[in-house]
A and B are shown apart, each in its own frame.
Chain A
């Protein structure tokens, strides 16, 4: 089946620290990969995406590279800010399987000043 596994949270970092949130997937077809973010009190927003192997998605200083050989899509940021505190969801979608997103369990990030 299709599934996404994320590292468990909560993750607590100091401002300007380096962030990695691990995400691995299992897919029966060829997936597109996404990171969504949910800020406190807000709805889910797309952060970045990658649609084929070796693509790198990037946005707001975050980046993730689609690694087919390791079935991974780890999220990284070089220097986090307090405003990055949120819950981050890794997700996949299989081409021609209706477009439903399959989400990981979410990783809560808390950045302290």
Chain B
């Protein structure tokens, strides 16, 4: 596709439910990143993939968060037993390769998650 796409654009859920967020990167981009944007914490890195592998998961806030990527393309971020503090905008980005220090990351529009 022309850019990074994410779905859903908005998700409202009840505390304790599981949610899945989806990211479709730019075709041909081998690196995929998840970030979270919240009022209190700003923009935080969560996890990145190079191909289907996740060499750096250091930003995942707890073991309730997990992510996978299949076929070197689509990625899903899963949050189990959601809590109110999980409310944020979840951003996905992709780039050609992760190991380049100069590569540009292109961001999707984000998924706004609200946990009631």
Interface positions of A (Cβ within 8 A of B)? 30-32, 36, 42-46, 49, 51, 89, 91, 93-96, 98-106
Chain A residue nearest in CB terms to B97: A99
> Chain B residues near A45 (CB, 8 Å)?
107
Give CA–CA (A93, B42) in the complex, Å.
Answer: 17
Q: B48 touching A100 by the CB < 8 A rule?
A: yes
Q: Check A98 against B98 for contact (C-beta < 8 Å).
A: yes
Q: List 11 A-B contacts (CB under 8 A).
A: A32-B101, A43-B109, A99-B48, A99-B97, A99-B98, A99-B100, A100-B56, A101-B33, A103-B43, A103-B44, A104-B42
Q: How far is the CB of A12 from chain B (nearest CB, A)?
A: 20
Chain B residues within CB distance 8 Å of chain A: 31, 33, 35, 42-45, 48, 50, 55-56, 59, 91, 93, 95, 97-110
Listed residue (A43, A101, A106) with the most chain B CB atoms within 10 angstroms of its CB: A43
Known: A32-B102, A93-B101. A43 touches B107 (CB 8 A): yes
Docked pose: A32 CA to B35 CA in angstroms: 19
Docked CA distance A44–B109 (Å): 8
Residue of B whose beta carbon sits closest to that of A36: B107
Do the beta carbons of A30 and B43 come within 8 Å of each other?
Answer: no
Bound Cα distance from A44 to B90, whole angstroms: 12
Q: A89-B43, A98-B55, A102-B45 are known contacts. Are A43 and B100 too (CB-CB below 8 A)?
A: no
Complex: A42 Cα to B108 Cα, angstroms: 9
Write the nearest CB–CB distance from B92 to chain A, whole angstroms: 10
- Name which residue of chain A comes closest to B95, CB basis: A99
Contact A46 B104 (CB under 8 A): yes
A105 touches B42 (CB 8 A): yes
- Chain B residues contacting A98 (CB-CB under 8 Å) are 48, 50, 55-56, 98-99
Besides A46-B105, A99-B101, 11 other CB < 8 A contacts? A36-B107, A51-B102, A94-B101, A95-B100, A95-B101, A99-B97, A100-B33, A101-B33, A101-B43, A101-B105, A103-B44
